[in-house]
Amino acid sequence: MSYTIALDFEDGVTRFIKCSGSESVVDAAYRQGINIPMDCREGACAACKCRVESGTYGLGDYIEDALSADEAAQGYALACQMRPTSDCVVRIPAESSVCNTRQESYTANIREVRRLSDSTFSLVLQGEALRKLLFLPGQYANLQVPGDGAHHRAYSFSSMAPDSDTASFLIRNVPGGRMSGFLAERAQPGDPIALSGPFGSFYLRPIQRPVLMLAGGTGLAPFLAMLDKVAAAGGSPHPIHLIYGVNTDGDVVETERLEALARLIPNFSFAVCVVAEDSRHARKGYVMQHIEPAHLNDGEVDIYLCGPPPMVEAVARHLREIDVKSASFHYEKFAASAA
C-alpha cells in the first residue's frame, strides 16, 4: 500500500511523495528526486533525523546513539529507517535546495473573481494541472501577477478539496496593490495565472485537544481550508472555536460559509468581532477581547493565529500578560504589498 508523505523543509517549502509501507522515507524521496541528507542509510549516523508531526509509522532498526528513546517518544525518527503505516507529515531539518528539490509551478486559469466586500476579493482558479497540487490546510502559494513581470504575491488557500481542479483564495483589496489592481480592473474569466507552492509551516496539526483559531481580515482564508479538512474527515473529537476580527462591518465576509461549516462540524463554533465603534455587530473590539477562559481550557489548547503583524503581536502579548502557556501556538503574519 502506498501512502502520501508531506516533507516540510526549513525554508517553508513542502513537497509530497508517495511511499510504500515496505520502503523507507529516504528511499521513497530519493526515487522521486529528493535527496534527504544522510550519511549511512543504516540508522547509525543521525544525519537524517526528522520529526514526524502526524501519522503512524515504524521506526525500523537503529542504534540508540542515533535516536534516543526520549527522542522517539517525542516523535523523532530516522528517515532512512522510518516506514509509514499511514499518510504522514515529516519536518526535515534542512532547506529544500540542499535536498535537490525545487519549487513546483503550475498554470491555471481564472474561473471566477468576486468582490466579497470593498476590502476583499475571492479568486477561484481552475485547471487540470491543479489536480497535482497538494498542500496542507493552512499553507499558501505564490501567485504571479499577470502582465506584471516577475512580481508575485503570497496568498493562503481558502479551500481544501483533494483531487480538485480548482483552488480558491481570499485576497485583500489594497489601494495601489498590483494584484488588487489586476483583479479590480483587468481580470477576466479564462485569464492564465502562474502559481508555485505550497509553502509555509502554518497548517493544521492532528487535533488532540481543544483548538482556538484567531483570524484577522483575510487571515480567515487558511482557517476555511482547515475547517474544510475537518469537515471532510467527519468532524472533530474536540471543540474548535474561531474568533474572526475585522475593522468595519463592510469587511465581514464568508459568514454563510462559516455557518455551513458549523452545521457540518458539531464541535465547531465561531464569533465575529468588529473594531469600529459604530459597528452593528454584537461583539465590538479586538480579537483578544473576546477570548474567554473556556476557550483556553487552562492552557490545554492548541492556538492558531493568522492576521496582519500588529494583530499577531497584540494577541501574543495579551497571552503573555494573562500568563497563558498553550500546548502549542502556531501563527502566521501577513503584510499587504502595494505597487
Question: In the chain, which ranges are E strands?
Answer: 2-9, 14-20, 49-54, 57-58, 76-78, 83-84, 88-92, 105-117, 120-126, 140-144, 152-156, 166-172, 192-199, 211-216, 240-246, 268-274, 302-307, 328-333
| Global pTM value | 0.86
pLDDT band for position 338 (50/70/90)? Answer: very low
pLDDT tens-place string over residues 6-39: 999 988 889 999 999 999 999 999 999 899 988 8
For the chain, the domains span 2-99, 105-199, 211-333
Q: Which of 96-110, 238-252, 307-321 has the weakest average pLDDT? A: 96-110
pLDDT (mean) for 312-331: 91
Q: How far apart are CA 128 and CA 310, in angstroms?
A: 39
pLDDT tens-place string over residues 236-258: 999 999 999 999 999 999 999 99
Q: How far apart are CA 338 and CA 148, in angstroms?
A: 13
Burial letters 57-88, b for 16+ CB under 10 A, else e:
beebebeeebbeeebeeeebbbbbbbbbeeeb
* Mean pLDDT over each residue of the chain, to the nearest integer: 92
Burial letters 133-146, b for 16+ CB under 10 A, else e:
bbbbbbbbbbbbbb
Share of the chain above pLDDT 90, in %: 75
pLDDT (mean) for 295-320: 93
In CATH terms, the fold of domain 2-99 is Ubiquitin-like (UB roll) (3.10.20)
Structure confidence at residue 175 (pLDDT) = 87
Name the CATH superfamily, with its identifier, for domain 105-199.
Translation factors (2.40.30.10)
Share of the chain above pLDDT 70, in %: 97
Q: Which three cell numbers stand for residue 223?
A: 482557517
Look at domain 211-333 and name its CATH class.
alpha beta
Q: What are the helix and strand counts (H, E) for the chain?
A: 7, 18
Structure confidence at residue 335 (pLDDT) = 66
The C-alpha angle 267, 273, 275, rounded to 5 degrees, equals 160
Structure confidence at residue 318 (pLDDT) = 92
CB 272 within 8 A of CB 244: yes
Of residues 158 and 102, the one with the higher pLDDT is 158
The tally of CA atoms less than 13 A away on the side-chain side of residue 227 is 30
CB 49 within 8 A of CB 81: no
